[in-house]
Structure 1
């Protein structure tokens, strides 16, 4: 594992994923940052799903983030 420096920008998004029929609904609920020593992560949740949603962590796609602004 590489030794990544902690930055002010998160490296991952945290989502609550629910199903509505065959459709999956992804709601961003937080963010995740790697520790400087590369041995763990810190996370911040804006909300906690109480509906049995699956919690999914995905690496942030910088290109997609730019297009969303």
Structure 2
């Protein structure tokens, strides 16, 4: 089973800084196809002033993997707060 729903985006938007394996990818939004399939609606959580924006097809993760990633993100955020980060 996957985490995809009828309202899942068709694409994810990323800001990419750098090139090759050293590049940093930051998710900044998502894109949904219009009903007429001639364009996309974009939802941007951030709009970068520098770097490039890459739109990649969205492939939902299996439900178990998505839950594991959420747990890992929560633990990383807690560690950052303990270390004085935001």
TM-score (norm 1): 0.74
**Alignment coverage as a number of residue pairs:** 62
Q: CA deviation at 1:65?
A: 7.7
Radius of gyration: which is bigger?
2
Tell me which protein shows more helix as a share of its residues: 2
**Structure 2: unaligned runs, 5 residues or longer:** 1-5, 68-86
> Higher relative contact order at CA 8 Å, sep ≥6: structure 1 or structure 2?
1
User: After TM superposition, what 4+ stretches of structure 1 lie above 6 angstroms from structure 2?
Assistant: none
Once residues 24 and 12 of structure 2 are traced to their aligned partners in structure 1, the CA distance between those partners, rounded to angstroms, is 15
**Structure 1: unaligned runs, 5 residues or longer:** 1-6
TM-score (norm 2): 0.61
